[in-house]
Amino acid sequence: MDLSESARAVFAVLAAAGSATRPQLASLAGLSKPTVSSAVVELESARLAAHSGTASGGTGRSAAVYGLGPAAGAVLAVDLGPALTRVRGCALDGTLLAQATGAREEAADVVREALAALPADAPLRTVVVAVGDVTAPEQEGAGVRPATAKAGPVFDAMAVALPPGVPVHLENNVNCAALAELHEGAARGRRTFGYLRIGVGIGLGIVVGGEVLRGANGAAGELARLPYPWDDGREPRHEALEEYIGARSLLRRAAEAWPDEDGPAPRTAEQLFALAGEGRGAARAVVGRHATDVGRLAAAVTAVLDPGLIVLGGSTGADPQVLAGVQAELARLSWPTEVVSSTVGDLGTVVGAARLAVSRGVQTVTEAAGAKH
SS3 189: coil
pLDDT tier at 218, thresholds 50, 70, 90: confident
pLDDT tier at 142, thresholds 50, 70, 90: very low
What is the predicted pLDDT for the residue at 146? 72
Residue 143 scores a pLDDT above 60: no
**Residue of 155, 153, 147 lying closest to 111 (CA atoms):** 155
- The pTM assigned to this predicted structure is 0.90
Looking at the chain, the whole-number percentage of residues with pLDDT higher than 90 is 81
Average pLDDT over residues 134-162: 72
Q: Residue ranges of the alpha helices (H) in the chain?
A: 5-17, 22-29, 33-45, 107-117, 152-159, 173-184, 240-245, 247-257, 269-277, 281-305, 320-333, 348-369
- Residue 72 CA to residue 368 CA, distance in Å, equals 12
- Residue 40 CA to residue 43 CA, distance in Å, equals 5
pLDDT tier at 140, thresholds 50, 70, 90: very low
- Residue 149 CA to residue 128 CA, distance in Å, equals 19
DSSP notation for 322-366: HHHHHHHHHHHHSS--EEEE-SSGGGHHHHHHHHHHHHHHHHHHH
Distances (CA, A) of 209 to 78, 212, 234, 307: 26, 8, 39, 11
3-state SS string for 161-182 = CCCCCCCEEEEEHHHHHHHHHH
Mean of pLDDT over the chain: 92
- Residue 337 CA to residue 321 CA, distance in Å, equals 19
Residue 369 scores a pLDDT above 80: no
Beta pairing, strands 309-313 & 202-208 = unpaired
pLDDT tier at 141, thresholds 50, 70, 90: very low
Write out pLDDT tens, residues 275-315: 999 999 999 999 999 999 999 999 999 999 999 999 999 99
**Phi, psi (deg, nearest 5) at residue 350:** -70, -30
Write out pLDDT tens, residues 5-49: 999 999 999 999 999 999 999 999 999 999 999 999 999 999 999
What is the predicted pLDDT for the residue at 136? 67
pLDDT tier at 151, thresholds 50, 70, 90: confident
Residue 98 scores a pLDDT above 70: yes
Q: Residue ranges of the alpha helices (H) in 32-72?
A: 33-45
Residue 123 scores a pLDDT above 50: yes
What is the predicted pLDDT for the residue at 78? 97
- Tell me how crowded residue 84 is: count the other CB atoms within 10 A of its CB: 16
Write out pLDDT tens, residues 53-84: 887 765 557 889 999 999 999 999 999 998 89
Beta pairing, strands 338-341 & 49-56 = unpaired
What is the predicted pLDDT for the residue at 231? 87
